[in-house]
Chain A
Amino acid sequence: MAETIQILPGREALAHRHHFATPEQQRETVMAGMWIFLATEIMMFGGLFMAYAVYRLGHPRAFELGSADMNVVLGSINTALLITSSFTMALAAHAAQEGRLRGLAWLLIATIVIGAVFLGIKFSEYYAHFREHRAPGVWYESKPNEPDPGGVEMFFVLYYIMTGLHAIHMLIGIGIMAVLWLMTLAGRFSRVYHSPVVVSTLYWGFVDIVWMFLFALFYLPGLHQGR
Chain B
Amino acid sequence: MAEPVIRRKTYALVYIAMLALTLATTLLAFLNMGPFNSVVALVIAVIQAALIAGVFMHALYESALVRIILTGSVLWFLILITLTMTDYLTRSH
Interface residues of A (CB under 8 A from B): 24, 27-28, 31-32, 35-36, 38-39, 42-43, 46-47, 49-50, 53-54, 57-58, 72, 76, 79-80, 83-84, 86-87, 89-91, 94, 97-98, 198, 201-202, 205-206, 208-209, 212-213, 215-217, 220-221, 223-225
Residues of A within 8 A of B76 (CB): 39, 42-43, 46
Nearest chain B residue, comparing its CB with the CB of A207 = B52
Chain B contact patch, size range: 35 or more
Interface residues of B (CB under 8 A from A): 1-3, 5-6, 8, 11-12, 14-15, 18-19, 22-23, 25-26, 29-33, 37-38, 41-42, 44-45, 48-49, 52-53, 55-58, 62-63, 65-66, 69-70, 72-74, 76-77, 80-81, 84-85, 88-89
Structural contact, B69 and A39, CB atoms closer than 8 A: yes
Structural contact, B66 and A32, CB atoms closer than 8 A: yes
Residues of A within 8 A of B88 (CB): 54, 57-58
Known: A86-B18, A217-B41. 16 other contacts (CB 8 A): A42-B74, A43-B76, A49-B81, A83-B22, A84-B15, A86-B56, A97-B3, A201-B56, A201-B57, A205-B56, A212-B52, A216-B41, A220-B26, A220-B41, A221-B41, A224-B31
Cα of A42 to Cα of B80 in the assembled complex, Å: 11
Residues of A within 8 A of B38 (CB): 221
B interface majority secondary structure: helix
Partner of A46, one of B3, B8, B69, B80: B80
